[in-house]
DNA sequence: TTTATATATCGCAATATTACGATTAATATT
DNA sequence: AATATTAATCGTAATATTGCGATATATAAA
């Protein structure tokens, strides 16, 4: 992604950007939507659900896991992924913070 | 960003990914936070606020504007940017949808 | 009209992301 | 023990992002 001046931002800003970046790909959005629609925590049939190779799905899952958006549990030869809700409030809070009423008055 | 199989996803999924991708950079997070903290709709002193060149800030602003997260109003030689709140509910809805109670039961 | 100010765009180099086949690793099954 | 199944990782090619200097554009001021 080219040079990013990582050292110039607060850790909070960098954390938010990492979380949003993980959400910034249609495959990962689709994975999250698929997982959240399963009542039980279905695993690697995401591969059959999405038009990507097993290797690509695995990489996307690792990315989501790295920022804490999902967690995985090994059961036998398969791995069970599910949403990790604890980071979601961080995103909600940021969006609400941006959505403050003081902005409504300008740029008519 | 390498090949992305754009045609394989719903327009809704692609739209969400675009919005989140726009949020997935610390400079753009910082820009949004800066704008939202101004009571009046302050413009190009974002350049003096952030450690990036005028060209880079302008590019980030265009990206935020392209997905509808901000809107800009020309006034004289300067441009006045502010948060565009209308797309924020789309993001909130997605996060809430993922945060559905059915997931809480698995991956103990 | 000339000059100053503010912002957008171009062109490029550096770096990151994405996808996939092939391989590895680890557990299950026979 | 040998084989099958599942998922992670490696290596690589294609493409996207980022940042900046330089330039272009457009309005304001002199």
- Name all protein residues with C-beta less than 7 A from any atom of nucleic acid chain C: A 1-4, 21, 24-25, 27, 51-56, 59-60, 63, 74, 76-77; B 1-5, 43-44, 47, 54-55, 58-59, 61-62, 72, 77-79
Is B31 domain-assigned? yes
Is B108 domain-assigned? no
Total structural domains within chain B: 1
Q: Over the stretch B46-101, which tens digit does the pLDDT of each residue have? A: 999 999 999 999 999 999 999 999 999 998 999 999 999 999 999 999 999 998 76
**Yes or no, beta carbons of A21 and B16 under 8 Å apart:** no
Range of the domain at A62: 10-90
**Yes or no, beta carbons of A17 and B9 under 8 Å apart:** no
pLDDT of residue A30: 97
Is B104 domain-assigned? no
* d(CA B6, C1' D30) / Å: 53
B85 touches chain A (CB under 8 A): yes
pLDDT band at B2 (very low <50, low <70, confident <90, very high): low
* d(CA B48, C1' D27) / Å: 21
What whole-number distance in Å separates Cα of residue B32 and Cα of residue B34?
Answer: 5
**How many beta-carbon pairs below 8 A join chains A and B?**
163
Is B98 domain-assigned? no
pLDDT of residue A104: 47
For residue B76, give the CATH number of its domain.
1.10.10.10
pLDDT higher for B42 or A64? A64
Is B3 domain-assigned? no
Is B57 domain-assigned? yes
Tell me which long-range contacts B10-18 makes (C-beta under 8 A, separation of at least 24).
B13/A26, B13/A29, B13/A30, B13/A33, B14/A26, B15/B90, B16/A23, B16/A26, B16/A29, B16/B90, B16/B91, B16/B94, B17/A23, B17/A24, B17/A25, B17/A26, B17/A28, B17/A29, B18/A24, B18/B67
Is A104 domain-assigned? no
What whole-number distance in Å separates Cα of residue B19 and Cα of residue B64?
Answer: 8
* Greatest mean pLDDT among B6-10, B81-85, B100-104: B81-85
What whole-number distance in Å separates Cα of residue B57 and Cα of residue B47?
Answer: 6
pLDDT of residue B104: 46
A39 alpha-carbon distance from chain centroid: 19
* Residues in chain A closer than 8 A to B40 (CB atoms): 105-106
**Yes or no, beta carbons of B103 and A41 under 8 Å apart:** yes
pLDDT, averaged per 10 consecutive residues of chain A (108 residues), comes to 74 98 98 88 86 96 97 92 95 94 56
Is A49 domain-assigned? yes
């Amino acid at each position: 992604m080219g040079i990013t001046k990582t050292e110039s931002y607060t850790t909070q800003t960098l954390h938010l950007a990492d979380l949003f970046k993980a959400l910034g790909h249609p495959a990962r959005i689709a994975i999250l939507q698929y997982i959240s629609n399963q009542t039980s925590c279905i695993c690697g049939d995401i591969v059959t659900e999405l038009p990507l190779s097993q290797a690509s799905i695995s990489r996307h899952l690792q990315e989501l896991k790295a920022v804490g958006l999902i967690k995985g549990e090994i059961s036998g030869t398969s791995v069970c992924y599910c949403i990790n809700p604890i980071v979601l409030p961080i995103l909600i809070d940021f969006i609400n913070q941006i959505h403050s009423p003081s902005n409504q008055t300008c740029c008519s």
